[in-house]
């Protein structure tokens, strides 16, 4: 869901990320204009009977189902942030079929590898890593860790660690401890 006015490209952007039960909510605030993106998962089979229909021509039943889910998601967000309710200028709702059409994902997935129990098993997880058997080829992104934005960040850290041959998460833990120690020392001296 987004505001219909295009923001100034040089504007400062502040992003807030929330996890609400099974929804991910990303709010971008740009010079008094805001964008709200709500993402959730649903079974492809809810929409598969329309998969052979043309985009934007799938009919009222499809639009009704898609929009009912979208309204419920938005209502959950409004319960948490009631101040946005009267400020919504435009909404648009997608489905797994939207992802299939616009992103080219076979079953409307929104993130890389399938999110099955097998994908997150210890055996598969131990095989999904940054370093490959091909010298000089490293993998990064969410699929070597876990799904989404946080998985992509960790995937980048794991890849950089593999390239540098370091355990960067240990370096980060050490850095955090040093910063906390310095902050405590500063507070005591005040």
Token pair 């400020």: residue: 87
Structure tokens at 11: 């504007």
Collapsing DSSP to helix, strand or coil, 137 comes out as coil
Token pair 């950089």: residue: 160
Judge whether residue 130 has pLDDT over 70.
yes
Instruction: Work out the pLDDT band at 120, boundaries 50, 70, 90.
Output: confident
Judge whether residue 127 has pLDDT over 90.
no
Q: How many residues does the chain have?
A: 190
Structure tokens at 9: 């490209």
Distance spanning both ends of the chain, measured CA to CA: 47
The rounded percent of the chain whose pLDDT value lies above 70 is 82
Read off the pLDDT of each residue in 68-80 and give the average, rounded to a whole number: 90
């Amino acid at each position: 869901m987004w505001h219909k006015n295009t923001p100034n490209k040089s504007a400062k952007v502040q992003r807030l990320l929330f996890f609400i039960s099974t929804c991910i909510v990303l709010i971008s605030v740009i010079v008094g204009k805001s964008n709200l993106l709500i993402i959730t998962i649903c079974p492809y089979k809810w929409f598969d009977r329309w998969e052979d229909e043309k985009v934007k021509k799938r009919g009222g039943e499809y639009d009704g189902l898609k929009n009912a889910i979208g309204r419920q998601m938005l209502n959950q967000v409004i319960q948490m942030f009631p101040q946005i309710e009267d400020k919504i200028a435009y909404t648009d709702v997608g489905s797994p079929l939207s992802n299939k059409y616009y992103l080219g994902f076979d079953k409307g997935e929104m993130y890389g590898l399938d999110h099955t129990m097998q994908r997150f098993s210890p055996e598969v997880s131990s095989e999904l890593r940054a370093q490959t058997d091909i010298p000089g080829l490293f993998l990064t992104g969410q699929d070597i860790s876990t799904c989404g934005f946080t998985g992509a960040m960790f995937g980048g850290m794991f890849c950089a660690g593999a390239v540098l041959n370091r355990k960067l998460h240990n370096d980060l833990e050490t850095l955090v401890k040093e910063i906390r120690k310095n902050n405590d020392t500063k507070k005591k001296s005040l």
